Amino acid sequence: MLNRHLKWERILGAGLVGAVLLATASLSWAASSLTGAGATFPYPLYSKWFDVYQREHKVAISYQSIGSGGGIQQLKAGTVDFGASDAPLSDQEMREMPAPVVHVPMIAGAVVIAYNLPGVQKGLRLSGDVVADIFLGNIKRWNDTRIASLNPGAKLPNLAVAVAHRSDGSGTSYIFTSYLSAVSPTWKTRVGIGKSVNWPAGIGGKGNDGVAGVVKQTPGAVGYVELAYATQNKLAYAHLRNRAGRFVEPSIASTTAAAAGSMKAMQKDVRVSIVDAPGKDSYPIAGFTYILVYQRQQKADKGRAVTEFLRWAVRDGQKYAAPLLYAPLPKQVVSMDESKIKSVVF
């Protein structure tokens, strides 16, 4: 009888240990994987981050580069651990989310006007009003007098302008239409600002890579893409006249100059616009890109994993930004981010 009791104690004990081990393994697995979705704008950098972070920290991060609008919707539906967007949520969108959301600026980047123009390999000069009229469909040929007046000596072909824009909900579109609304009253009243708008002219491409592909394959095409995509696809891009009246090339330095003017506003709210920024060296179509997470995490292991990744990204991860043509965060923004991350509870 005693032996029988001892036998059952061993079985129960073994079962208890097995259950603990199973639970620990399950917890370890859950904490070692994250899912996200959203912006294509930072995808070249995010891909690098996720690869390095998995190798160094043994946390696999699966990311769908589907556009900012899609990332916001997936976060809202609860199908991802984080969303990514170049367009911060508006006050109305914040109210529509199922729970409070924290915005964490990750890096800043430039949206460039990429073009495919035989005979004009680089350095085309454009002003805000001209860019707006190109995308409104009012300027129809590349040898238009308004473009020619900005580019004396350039041999502009008598070629039709083929506009390319995003077909999906896009934070890049939000940044670009914010710029057009700032420099063109006609654009502001007729089209406005948004991740998706009713484009007056052109054809759509999905993602930054889709627009880059349309421009690369179409003589006479012009579109807007993040700087890294233009560089990767060897596309020419315009120098834009900024608020100070200077023609500025998109670069890390000119993006950083645009971001520098926003520090005071960011102390109140990180959801700031840095398009058409003041300063002689500022590139006029720049923006921050954000990772969005719920402030109260439902699962402690996931909450811990996502906050640890965010801390790494805004600190150690910044060294990977410049080689991929993104502007690293200013120290003041890193401090703001650390406070934001600390506010996430689980």
- Residue 166: its pLDDT value, please? 98
Short-list 101, 146, 48, CA closest to 306: 101
State the pTM of this model: 0.88
Spatial CB neighbours of 247, under 8 Å, sequence gap ≥ 6:
125, 239, 240, 241
Per-residue pLDDT of the chain (346 residues; tens, 9 = 90+): 444 444 434 433 444 344 333 333 333 444 589 999 999 999 999 999 999 999 999 999 999 999 999 999 999 999 999 999 999 999 999 999 999 999 999 999 999 999 999 989 888 999 999 999 999 999 999 999 999 999 999 999 999 999 999 999 999 999 999 999 999 999 999 999 999 999 999 999 999 999 999 999 999 999 999 999 999 999 999 999 999 999 999 999 999 999 998 888 999 999 999 999 999 999 999 999 999 999 999 999 999 999 999 999 999 999 999 999 999 999 999 999 999 999 999 9
- Residue 249: its pLDDT value, please? 98
* CB of 124 closer than 8 Å to CB of 239: yes
Give the CATH number of domain 110-286; options: 3.40.50.10320, 3.60.20.40, 3.40.190.10, 2.70.98.10.
3.40.190.10
Interatomic CA distance for residues 252 and 255, integer angstroms: 5
- Residue 261: its pLDDT value, please? 82
* CB of 64 closer than 8 Å to CB of 43: no
Give the CATH number of domain 33-107+288-342; options: 3.40.228.10, 3.30.70.260, 3.40.190.10, 3.40.50.2300.
3.40.190.10
- Residue 31: its pLDDT value, please? 56
Short-list 151, 109, 111, 110, CA closest to 130: 151
- All CATH 3.40.190.10 domain ranges in the chain, comma separated: 33-107+288-342, 110-286
- Residue 6: its pLDDT value, please? 41
Spatial CB neighbours of 252, under 8 Å, sequence gap ≥ 6:
322, 325, 326, 327
